[in-house]
């Protein structure tokens, strides 16, 4: 299997070849009256959501329809800020947001800011944008196995939402009240699953003039509070080992800085000491393009708390045509510190009512600077080529079932479509057809496993490839001359593929992913294409099933590990610098389907009680905290398990050592 770097390079080469060979029909899509980069007209299934995040690739970017992105590193928010790799705890963003500046019909300079650092010391950012009551966040996907599949989707995961500056939730100040420009922003966030394209999220912004009057000399900017760290090590909000905003290095790549990428414009950030190995990745925001008739471009960088306060000063920053890089005007912009950054583009000289203008960026991450740049090149190519990425069959939708020292995975392989009536939602993955050749392209499956609750790096590199299956023949019966020809997993009575992993232990947490891969296509120069790890990645903890109530001999309830020793493989506290007694877990096994588990100390006082109601799982996890969430002292504890159906009780002892 090719390394990811080589695969990305092969894909970039293939994209160029494919685009150069496109027919006149495809090239005609670039007509200025209907730019293929910003197809906004489609309507799809809607879901009412205020905040969301990308989950399909390796970069988890949080977003809101309030005009700002990220989550302010707030542990109570349910979505990541800019987590890379996904599920690792390594974050790269405090807050990001759109700025739009212009001169109104009365000659006044106005700026509407989605975020700025004067309001970032709390968990409520300054808000000069907001949604209308009827606004919704729309989820969709071009993955035929997704429940929100749409033929008009541009990516494996897409979010569409809008906001305007008439609905500000907390903008302005007593000395500088927010005065709306009268703009509405239509936003698309695009994330991709294939392993060569899962390290970036593209953001497309269409700004509409809804003011009813002409605006002039419009600039659009992207505000960024980039910061890198690991929330499992330096915990945001902690008084003992909190997040360090002052050990980051920020910078900018301007045109000409990279000989192999001469037009690149990207701001970036990394942690100076890599959090002692816990957060070594780099993050960048690459400018992908706009339809501004001129190309004034600014990159501005300032210390936290020094954002321009008034609209004319903000606008001057955006329109300055200045690059803050190296040592400039007595400031060393390469120094370590708590930096805020912005890049802006324009102007659009005339912006009439109902006109729409466009601006596009991509959040990108990588294990190091070179990988970040390479990933940003794939993002740029994706944008330039109209979001038409080469991809193979999607990952199957899997069902993962924990068992006694085993895990069972089941999935639907798809069915052939009638001649002339191809339906990818029914045929994928095994009867999937290539979007480039219309031929069958499914070659086989790969099954990956990761031990642990978090994923610290690239999931394909962190995981073990525990099984690989390769088809022996094509759907028409023709023998397959690609791959290993091992055959595919067996089918159960319901026609589902089944794989059983018996190389696992009860009580340990695992991640599983089943990917599909496509055969090579020498005609197009395409390498083997594999679906994404996070298309169906699932976390599971194996354990025993409930004992059968009709069995003559029922296994006794047990608990493991027993004795419990701090610092064992069941103790995840030591991935965190916090002194909290979290991350300790023991498991009760062979628990009846409906039961209560009551834990007592030696004096007979009740410590905690667990409720269990699951006919499919006989394992119950306990965090070893009391009912009022206090840590337990070392010692001997008694547990009593009551079967709520039969009334039978069983008891045992648990020893906790530190």
Q: What is the pLDDT of residues 121-138, one digit of tens each?
A: 445 567 788 888 788 889
Does one domain contain both 201 and 306?
A: yes
Residue 149 scores a pLDDT above 80: yes
Q: What is the CATH number of the domain that holds 535?
A: 2.60.40
Chain centre to alpha carbon of residue 45: 21
Residue 293 scores a pLDDT above 60: yes
Q: What is the CATH number of the domain that holds 632?
A: 2.60.40.1930
Residue 565, burial from CB neighbour count under 10 angstroms (0-12, 13-18, 19+) = middle
Does one domain contain both 125 and 8?
A: yes
User: Is 620 a member of any domain?
Assistant: yes
Token pair 């701001």 in the structure block, residue? 267
User: Is 72 a member of any domain?
Assistant: yes
Average pLDDT over residues 418-433: 91
Q: Identify the helix (H) or strand (E) that includes residue 207.
A: strand 200-209
Which position has the higher pLDDT, 501 or 567? 501
Q: What is the CATH number of the domain that holds 283?
A: 2.70.98
Confidence of residue 390 (pLDDT cuts 50, 70, 90): confident
Residue 203 scores a pLDDT above 70: yes
Does one domain contain both 174 and 267?
A: yes
Does one domain contain both 503 and 610?
A: no
Confidence of residue 555 (pLDDT cuts 50, 70, 90): confident
Confidence of residue 43 (pLDDT cuts 50, 70, 90): very low
Does one domain contain both 338 and 414?
A: no
Q: What is 399-429 written as a DSSP string? A: EEEEETTEEEEEE----PPPTT---HHHHTT
Q: What share of the chain is helix, strand, coil (3-state, %, to 5)?
A: 10, 40, 50
Does one domain contain both 110 and 173?
A: yes
Residue 611 scores a pLDDT above 60: yes
Question: Considering only 95-104, 221-230, 234-243, which range has the smallest mean pLDDT?
Answer: 234-243
User: Is 301 a member of any domain?
Assistant: yes
Token pair 């309030």 in the structure block, residue? 66
The structural domain count of the chain equals: 3
Q: What is the pLDDT of residues 307-320, one digit of tens each?
A: 888 999 999 999 99
Confidence of residue 174 (pLDDT cuts 50, 70, 90): low
Q: How far apart are CA 652 and CA 657, in angstroms?
A: 17
Residue 32 scores a pLDDT above 80: no
Q: How far apart are CA 474 and CA 478, in angstroms?
A: 5
User: Is 545 a member of any domain?
Assistant: no
Domain range enclosing 490? 398-540
The pLDDT assigned to 567 comes to 53
Does one domain contain both 182 and 286?
A: yes
Burial 616-641 (b: 16+ CB within 10 A, else e): ebbbbebbbeeeeeeebeeeebebbb
Residue 35 scores a pLDDT above 50: no
Does one domain contain both 331 and 455?
A: no
Query: CA dihedral in degrees (290, 296, 300, 306; nearest 10)?
Result: -100
Which position has the higher pLDDT, 84 or 43? 84
The last residue of one of the domains, among 354, 384, 414, is: 384
Nearest to 531 by CA among 517, 513, 520: 517
User: Is 547 a member of any domain?
Assistant: no
User: Is 458 a member of any domain?
Assistant: yes
Peptide bond between residue 34 and the one before it cis (omega within 30 degrees of 0) = no
Does one domain contain both 579 and 486?
A: no
Backbone angles phi, psi at 102, to 5 degrees: -165, 170
Q: How far apart are CA 497 and CA 488, in angstroms?
A: 8
Q: What is the percent of the chain where pLDDT is above 70?
A: 85
Does one domain contain both 518 and 587?
A: no
Chain centre to alpha carbon of residue 444: 26
Question: Considering only 234-238, 501-505, 508-512, which range has the smallest mean pLDDT?
Answer: 234-238
Residues ≥6 apart with Cβ < 8 Å to 430: 393, 413, 414, 442, 471, 475, 488
Residue 238 scores a pLDDT above 70: no
The last residue of one of the domains, among 321, 350, 384, is: 384
Q: How far apart are CA 178 and CA 68, in angstroms?
A: 16
Q: How far apart are CA 148 and CA 55, in angstroms?
A: 14
Q: Mean pLDDT over all residues of the chain?
A: 85
Question: Considering only 138-142, 162-166, 629-633, which range has the smallest mean pLDDT?
Answer: 629-633
Which position has the higher pLDDT, 2 or 603? 603
Q: How far apart are CA 139 and CA 189, in angstroms?
A: 10
Question: Averaging pLDDT over each range in 40-54, 204-218, 407-421, 497-511, which range is the top one?
Answer: 204-218
Neighbouring CB atoms inside 10 A of 564's CB total 22
User: Is 594 a member of any domain?
Assistant: yes
Confidence of residue 30 (pLDDT cuts 50, 70, 90): very low
The pLDDT assigned to 306 comes to 87
Residue 447 falls in which region: left (phi positive, over 0), alpha (psi -120 to 50) or beta: beta
Q: What is the pLDDT of residues 243-284, one digit of tens each?
A: 889 999 999 999 999 999 999 999 999 999 998 889 999 999
Average pLDDT over residues 445-458: 91
Does one domain contain both 156 and 101?
A: yes
114 within 8 A of 68, measured Cβ to Cβ: yes
Nearest to 65 by CA among 168, 152, 148: 168
Nearest to 557 by CA among 587, 601, 585: 587
595 within 8 A of 637, measured Cβ to Cβ: no
Nearest to 294 by CA among 347, 366, 256: 347
Which position has the higher pLDDT, 533 or 131? 533
The pLDDT assigned to 11 comes to 62
Chain centre to alpha carbon of residue 323: 30
Does one domain contain both 122 and 167?
A: yes
User: Is 552 a member of any domain?
Assistant: no
Residue 23 scores a pLDDT above 50: no
For 602, what's the count of Cα atoms within 13 Å in the CB-facing half-sphere?
Answer: 7
Q: What is 435-502 written as a DSSP string? A: TTT-SB-EEEEEEEEEESSS--S-HHHHSEEEEEEE-SB-TTSPBP-SS---BPPPB-TTS-EEEEE-
Nearest to 588 by CA among 643, 514, 529: 643
The pLDDT assigned to 505 comes to 87
């Amino acid at each position: 299997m090719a390394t990811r770097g080589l695969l990305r390079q092969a894909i970039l080469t293939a994209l160029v070849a494919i685009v150069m060979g496109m027919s006149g029909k495809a090239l005609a899509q670039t007509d200025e009256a209907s730019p293929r980069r910003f197809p906004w007209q489609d309507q799809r299934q809607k879901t009412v959501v205020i905040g969301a995040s990308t989950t399909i690739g390796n970069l988890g970017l949080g977003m809101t329809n309030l005009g700002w992105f990220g989550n302010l590193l707030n542990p109570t928010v349910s979505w990541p800020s800019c987590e890379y790799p996904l599920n690792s705890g390594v974050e790269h963003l405090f807050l990001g947001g759109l700025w739009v500046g212009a001169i109104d019909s009365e000659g006044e300079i106005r700026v509407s800011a989605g975020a700025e650092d004067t309001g970032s010391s709390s968990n409520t950012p300054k808000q000069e944008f907001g949604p209308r009551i009827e606004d919704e966040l729309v989820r969709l996907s071009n993955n035929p196995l997704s429940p929100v599949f749409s033929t008009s989707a541009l990516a494996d995961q897409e979010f569409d939402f809008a906001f305007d500056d008439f609905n500000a939730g907390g903008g302005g100040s007593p000395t500088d009240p927010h005065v709306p420009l009268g703009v509405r922003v239509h936003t698309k966030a695009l994330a991709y699953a294939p392993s060569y394209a899962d390290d970036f999220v593209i953001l497309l912004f269409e700004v509409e003039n809804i003011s009813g009057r002409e605006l002039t000399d419009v600039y659009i900017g992207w505000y960024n509070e980039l910061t890198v760290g690991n929330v499992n090590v330096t915990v945001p909000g902690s008084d003992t080992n909190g997040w360090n905003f002052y050990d980051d290095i920020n910078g900018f790549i301007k045109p000409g800085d990279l000989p192999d990428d001469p037009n690149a414009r990207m701001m970036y950030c990394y942690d100076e000491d890599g959090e002692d190995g816990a957060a070594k990745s780099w993050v960048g925001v690459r400018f992908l393009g706009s339809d501004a008739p001129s190309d004034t471009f600014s990159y501005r960088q300032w210390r936290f708390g020094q954002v321009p306060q008034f609209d004319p000063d903000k606008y001057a920053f955006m329109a300055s045509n200045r690059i803050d890089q190296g040592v400039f005007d007595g400031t060393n912009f390469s120094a370590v510190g708590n930096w805020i950054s912005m890049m802006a583009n324009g102007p659009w000289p005339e912006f009439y009512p109902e006109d729409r203008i466009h601006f596009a960026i991509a959040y990108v991450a990588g294990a190091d600077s070179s990988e970040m740049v390479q990933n940003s090149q794939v993002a740029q190519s994706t944008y330039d080529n109209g979001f038409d990425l080469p991809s193979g069959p999607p990952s199957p939708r899997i069902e993962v079932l924990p068992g006694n020292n085993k895990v069972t995975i089941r999935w639907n392989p798809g069915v052939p479509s009638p001649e002339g009536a191809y339906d990818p939602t029914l045929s994928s993955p095994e009867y999937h057809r290539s979007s480039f050749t219309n031929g069958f392209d499914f070659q086989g499956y790969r099954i990956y496993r990761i031990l642990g609750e978090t994923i610290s790096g690239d999931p394909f590199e962190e995981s073990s490839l525990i099984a690989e299956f390769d088809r022996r023949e094509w759907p028409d019966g023709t023998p397959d001359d690609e791959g290993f020809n091992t055959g595919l997993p067996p089918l159960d009575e319901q026609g589902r593929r089944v794989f059983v992993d018996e190389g696992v232990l009860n009580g340990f947490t695992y991640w599983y992913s089943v990917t599909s891969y496509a055969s090579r296509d020498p005609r197009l120069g395409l390498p083997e294409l594999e679906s994404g790890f996070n298309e169906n990645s699932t976390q599971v903890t194996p354990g025993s099933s409930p004992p059968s109530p009709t069995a003559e001999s029922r296994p006794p309830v047990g608990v493991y590990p027993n004795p419990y020793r701090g610092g064992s493989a069941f103790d995840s506290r030591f991935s965190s610098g916090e002194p909290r007694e979290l991350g300790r877990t023991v498991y009760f096994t062979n628990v009846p389907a409906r039961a209560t588990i009551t834990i007592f100390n030696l004096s007979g006082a009740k410590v905690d009680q667990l409720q269990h109601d699951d006919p499919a799982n006989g394992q119950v996890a306990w965090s070893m905290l009391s009912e009022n969430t206090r840590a337990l002292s070392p010692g001997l504890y008694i547990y009593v398990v009551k079967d709520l159906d039969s009334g039978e009780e069983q008891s045992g002892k648990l020893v906790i050592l530190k």
